[in-house]
Amino acid sequence: SVQLVESGGGSVESGGTLRLSCEVSGYTFENFIRRYCMSWFRQIPGKEREGVAVIDKTGSTLFADSVKGRFTISRDIARSTVFLEMNNLKAEDTAMYFCAADQIRCRVATVPYSDYMGQGTQVTVSS
């Protein structure tokens, strides 16, 4: 079965940088990304999930307005990994970040309901 495992979260000061990783197993990654959009969403306890970034089957990327210009999403086939590079972090970026995959949910607004998701990695930004 497909598994998504996130890593790279932590605590940083405002303006800092973190890179999150999502390793995909249980499927040949190169074939997987041809069929699935990969994404990241985040959640603060008591609040709704918020889509952050998507990289679709063609490699095109989409971002939430709140992170445009600061976050990038990429894929590394050799490492079976999807990355979320987060620059100029702000206190409001503090959340649990989840990696997700879905065959049809390829828009930022819909990725929080993806078929596959990992356990999450916590990001805390202090102001």
Residue 78: phi, psi to the nearest 5? -60, -30
Q: What is the pLDDT along the chain (127 residues), one digit of tens a residue?
A: 999 999 999 999 999 999 999 999 999 999 999 999 999 999 999 999 999 999 999 999 999 999 999 999 999 999 999 999 999 999 999 999 999 999 999 999 999 999 999 999 999 999 8
Residue 72 contacts by C-beta under 8 Å, 6 or more apart in sequence?
53, 61, 83, 84, 85
Strands (E) located in 1-127:
3-7, 10-13, 18-25, 37-43, 50-55, 61-63, 71-76, 81-86, 95-102, 116-117, 121-126
The closest of 95, 91, 92, 2 to 41, measured between CA atoms, is 95
- Contact of 98 with 6, CB cutoff 8 Å: yes
